[in-house]
Amino acid sequence: MRVEDNEKSGNVWPWLGAIAAAAALLWFGKNEPPANAPTATPRPTPATAPLSTSPAAATSPPNAPSPNGGARPFAVAQDERVAFPIITNPSPEATDEEKSRWVGAAVCGECHAENWKSALHSAHYNTSRFASGDSLLGDYHAPGNRMGTGDPALSFEMLEDAGRFFQSAVQNGRESHRATIDLILGSGKMAQTYATWVKDALFELPVTYYTTARSWVYSPGYMDGQAFFARPVNSGCLDCHTTGYIPESEGEKNHRFKSRHIVPGVTCERCHGEGAQHVQHHRTHPTDKQAKHILDPRKLPAAKRDMLCSQCHGGVNTEDGGTDKVGAHSNNQLQRLSLSACFTRSESLHCTDCHNPHRKERGDKKLFARRCQTCHEIDDCNAVTPDRREHFADNCAQCHMPRQQMVDIDFRTTTGQVVSGFTGGDGVNIPEIVDHHIRVVRSDKTAPPSPDR
Ligand code: HEC
Ligand code: HEC
Ligand code: HEC
Ligand code: HEC
Ligand code: HEC
Ligand code: HEC
Ligand code: HEC
């Protein structure tokens, strides 16, 4: 590794520690659920659906007591004052220092056009975006824009008004609360969840779009029958779902961001480090073909290479190993892969041997099968029969990396029905995720492991 790379790597590695800590607050996380996280057993619906719009509620932690536990002040809603102002300017001026910290992917694209153009379509690039008609999934017009709840008197509506988008709570036929959709989290492969600004604080909105079921559901952590808008979006979410942000204070529980300055998407500078110096150097030295001041992951030692990915794809359970957990919000790809003979018995097998982080490759079975065949031949597979050679050649992962429903998820649908990775959620699909423990799957081993482990 050259000196320049070492210098630059300082911008990437501090994330690692922060993220291990942030993992406790995972979106689907079951290991340390917030006190009001939905469970697989439906709870009784509160008699009245309280609106938590008081400033006190707005600053309370995500695991504030649920209304079932009583004790939450809802006085403001009754006064009909709106404590969540609709922010009129969705992006205030950041200071020059804030603005110049990340140059943004488009600038990288000036000299690395190929990587940039293909990255635009990737799940990484789109994993957080500012809300717009192009980026929002789901219906913002009647009748598809309504989500009923377990409480017949309460529903939610997703609205478009003058080019801006809102979630609104309707109680007994009257709109009782409205919040803007400012930031989208999730590319929408599985789901999109939404966040709203209140000054410089970021909150998750109560309704999530659940792609697999093509419907609106309560956001994880929200209780059926509640019109609660105050679940903070902490730095932890943004560590894994954005390129950068300027926190008001350190710590993964922070949910205030200076100047509301967020660089959305997991883009170039999230993996290669802040690039201003690199850009400055190569703009002023156009003949220098030796890269300066940028992290080249190919030059990282083997173990660190995968850490670049596993800081976000390492699962929730990293502290105590957690290697046999299949589904979790971030799905433990590195731990699962490391159980495979392909990993333990080959000289090296890295995430990037099978994934090009600059492309959308999802669904390209042949491409992935070819990557298996950099080490294996079709005939290594003793299940292959002459008449099915072609099918086998293109489908290695379909048999050896089975898709499994994620465990660790709870969703509530429009009817208040519980959708859960544990219960199977009658009739509703839970997102299926590839298991990175590559192996011969015997039928008795295909069942997902116990969620308790
Ligand atoms: C003004 C042109 C220019 C811009 C803008 C630019 N780069 Fe580069 N980059 C280069 C040159 C020249 C090289 C060295 C030749 C090569 O590898 O293509 C390079 C190499 C790289 C490498 C490979 C590193 C290595 O050691 O070979 C990476 C990674 C990289 N750039 C990332 C980025 C990122 C991220 C951005 C945006 C923050 C960016 N570049 C913006 C010119 C530029
Ligand atoms: C440790 C990193 C990490 C943290 C922290 C994290 N996420 Fe995620 N999230 C991921 C990864 C990785 C995926 C993709 C899972 C996969 O495909 O294996 C994901 C998926 C999602 C999705 C579904 C995206 C899709 O594919 O459609 C949503 C929505 C989401 N996260 C929201 C959140 C929210 C909200 C928070 C904070 C409460 C959060 N995440 C915290 C890493 C993280
Ligand atoms: C999710 C992490 C990630 C993101 C996001 C990312 N890269 Fe990379 N990049 C890598 C890794 C890992 C490698 C080394 C790939 C390998 O081992 O073959 C790499 C290699 C490169 C290289 C050198 C090899 C090549 O392909 O020319 C350049 C240049 C580069 N990236 C530019 C970019 C630019 C520009 C963007 C934004 C559009 C970007 N990267 C986004 C992880 C990332
Ligand atoms: C900053 C956190 C972060 C880092 C670092 C990161 N990822 Fe991701 N990755 C995510 C998130 C978040 C998603 C889910 C995006 C979504 O669907 O919203 C994701 C999705 C993916 C997907 C699924 C893409 C798809 O279209 O389904 C692959 C494959 C992947 N990452 C591989 C990698 C590899 C390989 C690396 C290391 C080079 C890496 N990631 C580094 C956060 C990260
Ligand atoms: C870097 C090389 C490499 C890659 C890439 C690779 N493997 Fe392997 N794989 C190995 C090695 C080495 C073994 C152990 C062989 C042995 O012990 O005889 C192995 C073993 C296996 C086994 C037997 C597992 C067991 O528990 O006995 C299966 C099945 C398998 N690989 C499938 C795949 C599939 C499917 C892919 C692509 C998704 C893949 N491999 C990619 C190197 C690799
Ligand atoms: C031997 C090949 C191989 C290796 C190595 C590998 N993956 Fe994958 N990965 C796959 C295949 C195949 C898929 C399924 C692609 C698809 O859906 O089309 C996949 C899917 C994914 C997804 C999307 C999850 C889903 O099912 O939607 C993520 C995230 C991911 N990989 C991350 C990683 C990370 C992080 C590493 C390194 C620890 C890694 N992968 C190493 C083959 C591999
Ligand atoms: C239709 C499902 C299916 C497909 C497709 C498939 N395999 Fe297999 N594979 C199996 C089964 C089942 C076994 C176990 C056979 C047995 O031992 O009876 C197996 C065994 C293996 C083994 C282990 C052999 C050993 O030493 O025990 C390897 C390696 C392997 N497959 C690699 C591959 C590769 C590489 C591909 C793609 C070119 C592939 N497989 C495609 C089902 C499949």
CA distances from residue 396 to 71, 342, 380, 399 in whole angstroms, order as listed: 55, 13, 11, 6
Cα of 49 vs its chain's centroid, Å:
29
326 and 256 both lie in a single domain: no
Least confident of 126-130, 235-239, 295-299, 342-346: 235-239
What is the pLDDT confidence band of residue 413, given thresholds at 50, 70 and 90?
Answer: low
Q: Which domain holds residue 180?
A: 3-268
Radius of gyration of the chain (CA): 23
The answer to whether residue 274 is domain-embedded is no
State pLDDT tens for residues 142-173.
999 999 888 889 999 999 999 999 999 999 99
Structural domains in the chain (count): 2
263 and 307 both lie in a single domain: no
C-alpha of residue 355 to centroid of ligand 6, in Å: 7
Q: In sequence order, what are the beta bridge partners of 171?
A: 154, 174
The answer to whether residue 195 is domain-embedded is yes
The answer to whether residue 450 is domain-embedded is no
**CB 108 less than 6 A from any atom of ligand 1:** yes
Instruction: Output 407 or 311, whichever has higher pLDDT.
Output: 311
As given in the structure block, the two tokens for residue 324 are: 């046999």
Instruction: Output 424 or 413, whichever has higher pLDDT.
Output: 413
65 pLDDT higher than 60: no
**CB 334 less than 6 A from any atom of ligand 6:** yes
Q: Which ligand is nearest to the CA of 203?
A: 2
For 28-67, give the DSSP string.
Answer: S--SS--TT---SSPPPPPSS--EE-SHHHHTS-TTPPPG
Q: What atom of ligand 6 comes closest to residue 353's alpha carbon?
A: 5
C-alpha of residue 242 to centroid of ligand 4, in Å: 11
Q: What atom of ligand 5 comes closest to residue 354's alpha carbon?
A: 5
215 and 328 both lie in a single domain: no
Distance, in Å, from the CA atom of 384 to the CA atom of 41, rounded to the nearest integer, reads 44
101 and 244 both lie in a single domain: yes
Taking phi first (over 0 means left), then psi (-120 to 50 degrees means alpha), and beta for anything else, what does residue 325 get?
Answer: beta
The answer to whether residue 83 is domain-embedded is yes
The answer to whether residue 318 is domain-embedded is yes
State pLDDT tens for residues 286-310.
999 999 999 999 999 887 889 899 8
264 and 320 both lie in a single domain: no
262 and 319 both lie in a single domain: no
431 and 311 both lie in a single domain: yes
253 and 324 both lie in a single domain: no
259 and 387 both lie in a single domain: no
The answer to whether residue 397 is domain-embedded is yes
Q: What is the mean pLDDT of the chain?
A: 75
Q: In this predicted structure, what is the pLDDT of residue 215?
A: 85
Closest C-alpha to ligand 1, atom 27: 291
228 pLDDT higher than 90: no
260 and 322 both lie in a single domain: no
What is the pLDDT confidence band of residue 276, given thresholds at 50, 70 and 90?
Answer: very high
12 pLDDT higher than 70: no
Count of C-beta atoms within a 10 Å radius of residue 149: 26
State pLDDT tens for residues 88-110.
776 778 888 888 899 999 999 99
